[in-house]
């Protein structure tokens, strides 16, 4: 225990020796959470809309109002003809264009169908384009259904018609569809993963480059004591960052922890230990700080952002990609944070799917860091 405390004191002195770096280590995760939390919303709001209204009737104006009333579409201008509308789309000035024919109002008043052309810029993000198409179709279909119902009511047939199936849809946990309830619990694990891996990955290799590793090797300290001694100070720092990010998530975005904060904290400690062990493992096999950074970025950090389910569903990934993400502790920790923060579940509910894999991987990476350091002695 004395040897372990000695290594911890040495590492703490190294951290405190550079107050600016310590301030950045604590402040940057919270700043990054705010930046990404506001920047990566995933919501398609305020889609720019231009209209060619050749009808200029009350019916056409009411039809256009349906698209702007939801806030999803923002009417920026009315255009005189289809050629100018396509030019605006080519110049990336509008995302969606609606062309209403001249006979639109007359056809509707005469109970005749009228064809409306909607143009969507497909050169943008395919997900955004698909979302825009879905919203456009839904709004237009609702307008058609209301007009059809009015026609049936006018003809006196409404009392004879009833829908055979009545469907009630209830959205649990996030009924308003606020994307931040999905992104904030996902960003916290990613930010912690980046910080823990990089901090730990540079620890051992820094000692080697500065020539102080030989002094540690000749001391009667065991590999696990050295690993814990270097990891625990960073564990405290990352725990502070976790508390700050949870507080910022509540204060800035209104994302409260619905489940047990105590369970979330201890599972976060286990994840942090595993990630720090992964970073130390990378540090042990690297010959320089540049190698450590490259290995951390390309083997852990980039896959953690893309493959863990932060932005893309893992169920649709190829087998190799899916199982590679299974070997990353952050994949399981991300499911835990979303489960506890948003759904309010406990660790036992996620025992087999996330909790046990997280604990097993964290222990495995820590043991691997100890064994790999032992080979260097």
**What does the pLDDT look like over 241-268, one tens digit per residue?**
999 999 999 998 889 999 999 999 999 9
Domains of the chain, earliest start first: 2-41+179-374 (no CATH), 47-147 (3.40.1710.10)
Burial 79-92 (b: 16+ CB within 10 A, else e): beeeeebeebbeee
Contacts of 33 (CB under 8 A, 6+ apart): 184, 187, 188, 191, 245, 248, 249
Q: What is the chain's mean pLDDT, rounded?
A: 82
User: For 135, what's the count of Cα atoms within 13 Å in the CB-facing half-sphere?
Assistant: 22
Is residue 116 predicted with pLDDT exceeding 80?
yes
Is residue 377 predicted with pLDDT exceeding 50?
no
Measure the CA–CA gap between 90 and 5, rounded to whole angstroms. 65
| Most confident segment among 9-13, 92-96, 157-161, 355-359 | 355-359
For 119, the token pair is 């143009």
Q: What's residue 176's pLDDT?
A: 73
The order of strands in the sheet holding 117-120 is 73-78, 47-53, 96-100, 117-120
Cα dihedral: 122, 126, 131, 137 (round 10): 40
Helix (H) or strand (E) holding 4: helix 2-16
Given the structure tokens 């540690």, which residue do they identify?
216
pLDDT in tens, 123-150: 766 667 777 888 888 888 888 877 777 7
* DSSP, res 99: E
6 to each of 39, 228, 230, 235, 316, how far by Cα in Å? Answer: 43, 11, 10, 16, 49
Is residue 211 predicted with pLDDT exceeding 70?
no
Q: What's residue 132's pLDDT?
A: 80
Regarding predicted confidence, which is higher, 295 or 21? 295
Characterize the bridge pairing of strands 117-120 and 73-78: unpaired
E-only strand ranges, the chain: 47-53, 73-78, 96-100, 117-120
Q: What SS3 state is found at 265?
A: helix
Which of these ranges, 28-32, 57-61, 158-162, has the smallest mean pLDDT?
Answer: 158-162
Query: Which is nearest to 180 in space by CA: 310, 306, 41, 311?
Result: 41
């Amino acid at each position: 225990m004395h040897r372990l405390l000695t290594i911890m004191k040495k590492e703490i002195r190294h951290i405190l020796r550079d107050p600016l770096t310590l301030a950045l280590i604590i402040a940057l995760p919270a700043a990054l959470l705010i930046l990404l939390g506001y920047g990566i919303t995933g919501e398609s709001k305020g889609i720019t809309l231009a209209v060619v209204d050749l009808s200029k009737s009350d019916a056409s104006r009411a039809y256009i109002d349906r698209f702007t009333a939801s806030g999803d579409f923002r009417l920026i201008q009315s255009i005189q003809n289809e050629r100018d509308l396509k030019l605006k789309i080519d110049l990336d000035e509008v995302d969606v264009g609606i062309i209403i024919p001249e006979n639109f109002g007359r056809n509707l008043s005469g109970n005749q169908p009228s064809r409306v052309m909607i143009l969507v810029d497909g050169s943008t993000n395919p997900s955004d384009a698909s979302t825009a198409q879905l919203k456009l179709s839904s709004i237009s279909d609702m307008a058609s259904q209301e007009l059809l119902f009015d026609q049936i009511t006018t003809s006196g047939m409404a009392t004879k018609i009833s829908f055979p199936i009545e469907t009630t849809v209830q959205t649990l946990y996030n009924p308003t569809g606020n994307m931040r309830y999905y992104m904030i619990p996902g960003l916290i694990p990613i930010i912690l993963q980046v910080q823990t891996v990089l901090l730990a990955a540079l620890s051992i290799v820094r000692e080697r480059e500065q020539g102080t590793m030989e002094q540690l090797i000749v001391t009667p300290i065991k590999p696990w004591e050295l690993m814990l001694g270097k990891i625990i100070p960073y564990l405290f720092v990352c725990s502070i960052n976790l508390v700050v990010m949870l507080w910022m998530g509540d204060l800035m975005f209104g994302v409260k922890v619905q489940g047990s904060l105590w369970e979330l904290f201890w599972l976060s400690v286990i994840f942090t230990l595993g990630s720090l062990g992964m970073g130390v493992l990378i540090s042990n096999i690297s010959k320089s700080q540049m190698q450590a950074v490259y290995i951390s970025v390309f083997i852990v950090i980039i896959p953690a952002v893309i493959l863990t389910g932060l932005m893309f569903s893992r169920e649709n990934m190829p087998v190799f990609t899916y199982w590679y993400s299974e070997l990353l502790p952050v994949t399981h920790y991300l499911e835990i944070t979303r489960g506890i923060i948003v759904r309010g579940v406990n660790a036992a509910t996620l025992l087999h799917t996330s909790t046990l894999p997280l604990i097993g991987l964290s222990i495995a990476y820590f043991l691997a860091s100890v064994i790999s350091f032992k080979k260097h002695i």
